[in-house]
Amino acid sequence: MSVDSVFVHKMWNDHELSKMVEGGVPYPMLSDGGGNIGKLYGVYDEDAGVETRGRFIIDPDGIVQGFEVLTPPVGRNVSESIRQVKAFQLVRESKGTEATPSGWKPGKKVLKPSPDLVGNVWKEWKVSEAFDE
């Protein structure tokens, strides 16, 4: 979503993005002329008249589970967004009985919060697991 018109979206997709991604952008490229939706989400930059790099994870009930907002010159980390979605999906499937520690990714240890775990995370989980290697 950006303040560009759908016509500009078409030009960008057809003339540039489709040369990087086969078949072009697979999801809807939304247009928010005037930035009204950006204002609703708190990512509209009034001074520049554009939206910042905001990314929102919305669950199947329409609840915002997380967001990240960057200034224009720094691109996002797509893998990190996907990791977060997977973590939220795991928590949802466990009906909130499981939690994903720092640095979790699929296959890594999850924690089951309980009275017994209070003060005992150090026995279950090591700081090294927060990192990729």
d(CA 15, CA 9): 10
User: Does 132 help bind other proteins (rule: CB under 8 A)?
Assistant: no
Q: From CA 43, how far away is CA 132, in angstroms rounded?
A: 31
| Binding of other proteins by 72 (CB under 8 A) | yes
Contact between 100 and other proteins per CB under 8 A: no
Closer by beta carbon to other proteins, 105 or else 109: 105
User: Does residue 19 interact with other proteins by CB under 8 A?
Assistant: no
Cα 5 to Cα 3: distance, rounded to the nearest angstrom: 7
Residue 71's Cα: distance from chain center in Å? 15
Interface residue list for other proteins (CB under 8 A): 1-4, 6, 8-13, 16, 24, 26-32, 37-67, 71-76, 81, 85, 88-89
